[in-house]
Amino acid sequence: MESLLRSEIFEQPAVLRRFLKEEAANIAAISRGLSGREIRYVLIAARGTSDNAARYGQYVFGAFNRLTVALAAPSLFSIYQSAPELRGALVIGISQSGQSPDIVSVVDEARRQMVPAIAITNDPTSPLAAAAEFTIDLRAGTEGSIAATKTYTAELAAMALLSQGLSRRAAAANPLDEVAGWMERALESEPAARAAAEGLADINRCVLLGRGFNLSTTFEIALKTKELAYVAAEPYSSADFQHGPLAIVEDGFPVFLVAAGEKMRRELNALRTDLKERKARVISLDDDGTAGGPTPNWRIPIPAGIPEWLSPLVAIIPGQLWAYYLAKARGIDPDNPRTIRKVTLTR
Amino acid sequence: MESLLRSEIFEQPAVLRRFLKEEAANIAAISRGLSGREIRYVLIAARGTSDNAARYGQYVFGAFNRLTVALAAPSLFSIYQSAPELRGALVIGISQSGQSPDIVSVVDEARRQMVPAIAITNDPTSPLAAAAEFTIDLRAGTEGSIAATKTYTAELAAMALLSQGLSRRAAAANPLDEVAGWMERALESEPAARAAAEGLADINRCVLLGRGFNLSTTFEIALKTKELAYVAAEPYSSADFQHGPLAIVEDGFPVFLVAAGEKMRRELNALRTDLKERKARVISLDDDGTAGGPTPNWRIPIPAGIPEWLSPLVAIIPGQLWAYYLAKARGIDPDNPRTIRKVTLTR
């Protein structure tokens, strides 16, 4: 029987095409609706996979809209009941299900304080959508797997489009239109992702390193690795990693480098050299097979030439496949991970 | 020979007393200097241990000053060179050494955009202090250990005082004055921290869970555990942990719960029950020995009755001792951790 998770991973190019086709006009309208509103910064509330999409928002809104993005501490709103003053904020709640009370509480507070709030959700009838002034519908179809995949890339696309709309960057030839094709080519890296997973089937811990736009990818691959393969996989900004945690790298320690994009290449190549000197086992997920420095133990390629700001929509895909095959290599059924629920109702 | 690290851990009550005595007037003056400036949110730039202090800032400025706190993505300023517009921001750079170029770049940008910027550093002659409009001197004395301890608690105290100053909460009897005494009592938990460490000397991975104000403590104990004992120790908000990563907990999996403070007690007690059902090995660092639910495998107490917002200055101390003894139990010299530098110059 075909795996539901794997089939949802492979659905992503089609989901993206549908999202761009059916939701672009709504996002353009939301962007127009926001013009004239005072927006000094963005406050995003999200958990789990959606929180990793929020990390992408930090870079896309920062780089293209010159907006600082704060990630909400939901407990300030729900448990401590001392919500910040939100004047000047654009609030965005991201949740596949739209159910989590703590995320809804942040959007509720935005409405109470009369600042604009956008729900990004796969369920436009959810409490989150009901609470928000504007809703972006992910239109990903039912996500049957416990592990989120297609809703994640749809969430990234939602933020990319919103960023374009807010900055009025939308051009006649939209670079987002090319992403689905790159995703299809990235799916062709399935054998490479599988080989890396099978080569590391014995691990019980690893770290994942990336920076900038692909910090989101780094965190999301780590989350999939934990959810599906039960490996203690910790993600870091490659800069933060050098401020202390580097100490844990010893002979054979598994390190997964996410090195897509021009700007971070030099830094991540230097880090790969350093890691190899420490005898780490290195996986490199990258768009530059010809890069200098020592050869990684495994390489998982994505197409070259993707603009860095769009590469997270593509780079995650072989990362999802890596986690899928790591689970299988460890004797775990990735369609039935233990203990986690699709909808988690944290306060 | 006495360990330098352990002696710096034990210095913390004295460092705090000195900081409160010598720096309170400066912080009050900074607070006055900021009145009338437009502050809609706080943007903190920091790395490593100082970034964990920034997490404390998220809660203290959120709960008492109603200010949203964003943690800066320094690469937007340094590598992508598309710094956000900072109008409405109060920028705070935190760095023990004051040297890291990426942190300095955020504060530089604040000055360029003429928004207020505060440096919190142990070196008032550092580039960070030179770049900032205001400087808070941690006055912790030379920190000789690679692993930061006394500068961390001084950084927390700096933010607590600044929050008080900005909200004009400073009362005749300042609750901060009691913290050094609580720290001294927390140091008495050294045998309990040591017993937990010796009981878990065989681990190579663990997770640490906390929430709210003590999310900072959770992240900082995890960092010390990695730096000193080379254990892959991943910290989580206990709410985030339930959105997926919970899957990694299996028979014998080590979980360190940071459960200080009233507001989060119910949630963390419920989680302890859940973790014990999954047969995790649980350490509880808490202020409530009589709490219901199953007994943890090890308990590290801190004094009861500390206001939750001040408990991070106290709870970290036995956590530092845990990491110190875990290193020793694993045959590592905590005064000479491998591979990390005191000053890390990331872009």
Please report residues of B whose CB lies closer than 8 A to that of A74. Answer: 239
Reported in sequence order, the residue ranges of chain A that DSSP labels E, i.e. its strands, are 41-46, 68-71, 89-95, 117-121, 134-137, 205-210, 232-237, 254-259, 281-286, 298-301
Instruction: Kindly report, residue by residue over B14-68, the tens digit of the pLDDT.
Output: 999 999 999 999 999 999 999 989 999 999 999 999 999 999 999 999 999 999 9
Note whether B240 contacts A: Cβ–Cβ < 8 A.
yes
What's the predicted TM-score (pTM) here?
0.93
Confidence check: pLDDT of B168 > 60: yes
Structure tokens at B42: 């706080």
Q: Tell how strand B68-71 and strand B117-121 pair up.
A: unpaired
Query: Among the listed ranges A30-34, A269-273, B69-73, which one has the minimum average pLDDT value?
Result: A269-273
Instruction: Kindly report, residue by residue over B264-317, the tens digit of the pLDDT.
Output: 777 888 888 889 899 999 999 999 865 667 889 999 999 999 999 999 999 999
Average confidence (pLDDT) over A130-154 = 96
Average confidence (pLDDT) over B156-180 = 85
Note whether A79 contacts B: Cβ–Cβ < 8 A.
yes
**Pick from A66, A84, A239: which is nearest to B66 by CB?**
A84
Which pLDDT belongs to residue B75? 86
State the amino acid at position A315 in one-letter form: A
Residue with tokens 């505060």: B118
Nearest residue in chain B measured CA to CA from A51: B240
Please calculate the CA angle A181-A183-A189 and round it to the nearest 5 degrees.
Answer: 120
HSE-up of residue B260 (Cα within 13 Å, Cβ side)? 30
Instruction: Kindly report, residue by residue over A331-340, the tens digit of the pLDDT.
Output: 999 988 765 5
Instruction: Kindly report, residue by residue over B82-111, the tens digit of the pLDDT.
Output: 889 999 999 999 999 999 898 999 999 999
Confidence check: pLDDT of A316 > 60: yes
Mean of all residue pLDDT scores within chain A: 92
Q: Which residues contact B42 (CB under 8 A, 6 or more apart)?
A: B57, B61, B67, B68, B69, B70, B89, B90, B91, B92
Which pLDDT belongs to residue A341? 61
HSE-up of residue B158 (Cα within 13 Å, Cβ side)? 30
In whole angstroms, give the CA distance from residue A124 to residue B170. Answer: 46
In whole angstroms, give the CA distance from residue A15 to residue A35. Answer: 29
Average confidence (pLDDT) over A77-94 = 92
Which pLDDT belongs to residue A49? 95
Which pLDDT belongs to residue A128? 98
* Selected residue with higher pLDDT from B154 and A176: B154
Residues in chain A, total:
347
Asked whether the beta carbons of residue B48 and residue A244 sit closer than 8 angstroms, the reply is: yes
The residue among A5, A37, A39, A40 with the most chain B CBs within 10 A of its CB, best to mutate, is A40
Which pLDDT belongs to residue A119? 98
Which pLDDT belongs to residue B336? 83
Give the three-state DSSP class for B95.
Answer: strand
The residue among B5, B37, B38, B41 with the most chain A CBs within 10 A of its CB, best to mutate, is B41
Mean of all residue pLDDT scores within chain B: 92
Sign of the Cα pseudo-torsion (B322, B51, B42, A107, in order): negative
Which pLDDT belongs to residue B292? 67
Please calculate the CA angle B248-A259-A292 and round it to the nearest 5 degrees.
Answer: 130
Cβ pair B116, B34 in contact under 8 A: yes
| A288 confidence band (pLDDT: 50, 70, 90) | confident
Which pLDDT belongs to residue B171? 55
